[in-house]
A and B are shown apart, each in its own frame.
Chain A
């Protein structure tokens, strides 16, 4: 989807059409969640502090985010995809891979299918989207990015390398700022440069897995199938404070809220986390993460909170001002998959209590039951992660 959150907001604000606008909570510390193409043309990007965006474009229109709306439209769009093929791999709220190899008899060539999808999405939601068609998942994603906004780009299998090789290396999946830096230092700037270096030298530079992976991608070798079930690698919740916080008690209260949230998410997904992580970003943007791996998985918010508080205490942050704090649960395993014990003497009462809280929340709405220490108002925490 093209500028998904922004496009959804604009549906209800016809007056904004064609003007630079961003989706963000209008406060001093927020960041841009999504920007219209008009705003992007003027240099505004997602994840940019709102204050910077306002400096660039003083009359930028700020639209309040509505996550429930995005979920609604996301579901509508995914439903349309499922009319074309059951093989839909939803990558995020506004992206998905579709394997249409089996749908060609009914709907025509991949290009025709792509055009039909674009048309139906626009007719039924009013939202623009871009479609990349290719023989592998990552080239399809590159093609869709390249065709934005409101585009359609087909890369036939035989033209894949012709399309891929002139691209800058950071277009490749898994190449972020750090990796790009390492490769630039070695004089590698385009995908073709990577493709024509010896695989071993990439492995030396980046390590076994990353090096081999990058080399394969540079030759468009990506044999991952479109998988309909995606396994979550981690579940997290983080929060940027409106004003930097030094009070340890307040930080811990925020962590309690986050830990309870993460616990509830884990239980909902019937998962347990083996690794609990804490992330702290200070006012000077120095960011620290600490994690601990447990002998047994947990989905109990109380336990997660205890661990992140210990991790926070171990950081000995003194009076340093904290800008962002977050909890992450990783090493996810299926609940009940771990070793059962021969006898039960210490059934964790908190787990049962939290399951009951889940049920109450389901019936009466979120936060119907919450820890007394959170009755003092804490800042609402936004969903972590931004759509791609």
Chain B
């Protein structure tokens, strides 16, 4: 095998392949990046039996072939190479990499032992990349990081007609956003539960790619989703199990709400939360066209701050965990935020608050992002 490739193209392809690999792997061979050279160019692949990546790159291939090299080492080398074309050549069990005045010799890993990368064929539909990327960043914050309940460590994709909803929850909050979807396959309504960490990386990588092609397949009892854009493909196994029916938790109509300036509330929350312990909640009092934040329960220190708020309906007091509120405020992506107060039948439990975006004090935005958060009991 022998080929020549542009340094920046190489660096980008290798770092993408390595990014999706787990930091530690039980099988050493999975820490490798597979390089396949053919007359059509190069393909860089990585795979850990759950997630796979493939990147197609143009290159001048002299002799076709396949090699497997340590992914992290190759990524570090590719990042540091001088600005010159890079030549790869396999010599027996070694690979020689030369670039300008720099030369490296890398050990070739046993390529014949590398597992087959899953291939998906047939497109299910197409998504606008930019909206998908921002929706993922808004929704995935609410996904659970606790592996005890695997179904809620994912982001649920629900396709109905021309719309795709992304949903995530950790039981304490639920985040939802709908984006347009263009179905190109035969199946109409589909759901797919994708690991949150994977979909977050995909969102970041494919943010400026125009359209993302999605393919969902069921092969050998393993459900697989593939995201393809810009000559890159990422596949991921879907999480098995039923995602909780959280959509019904959202109220149809909220009459009692307040509108605040998003940045002001973020700043105030960050300040007031300084005096409470990590798990403790803050008290939010919505009254007299203002919102007063108070840190309660701290023996040693207390804090309070009042910001402007436009309140519709009666005054309200709620107890919210600051980090959960900040996740929601950070995701509305709008100058103003509407905080809606709902009621529930259970008198022992306060009704959830609904966070949505507002373009101004009076106008709700078109953005279909919704963040539902369960307040704590008011202790004092």
Contact = CB atoms under 8 A, between A and B. Distances in A.
> Do the two chains belong together in a single complex?
yes
B60 to A, nearest CB: 54
A21 to B, nearest CB: 43
Which of A295, A333, A336, A341 is packed against the most chain B CB atoms within 10 Å?
A341
Contacts of A339: 172, 279, 281, 321, 324, 374, 376
Nearest to A338: B279
B214 interface: no
Interface residues of A, number: 13
A338 B376 CA distance: 7
B261 to A, nearest CB: 26
B174 interface: yes
Given A295-B146, A345-B244, A340 B372 contact: no
Contacts of A340: 172, 349-350, 374-377
Contacts of A336: 377, 379
A342 interface: yes
Nearest to B170: A341
Contacts of A334: 379
Contacts of A333: 279
Interface string B196-234: 000000000000000000000000000000000000000
Contacts of A342: 169, 171-174, 246, 249, 352, 372, 374
A343 B188 CA distance: 30
A333 B379 CA distance: 12
A336 B378 CA distance: 9
A319 interface: no
A337 interface: yes
A187 B210 CA distance: 74
A334 B297 CA distance: 10
Nearest to A342: B374
Contacts of A343: 171, 244, 246, 249
A340 B352 CA distance: 10
Interface in B221-257: 244, 246, 249
Interface string A247-266: 00000000000000000000
Given A295-B146, A342-B249, A337 B172 contact: no
Interface string A310-338: 00000000000000000000000110111
A341 B279 CA distance: 14
Contacts of B377: 336-337, 340
Interface of B: 146, 169, 171-174, 244, 246, 249, 279-281, 297, 321, 324, 349-350, 352, 372, 374-377, 379
20 contacts: A274-B279, A337-B281, A337-B297, A337-B376, A337-B379, A339-B279, A339-B281, A339-B324, A340-B172, A340-B374, A340-B375, A340-B377, A341-B171, A342-B174, A342-B249, A342-B352, A342-B372, A343-B244, A343-B246, A345-B244
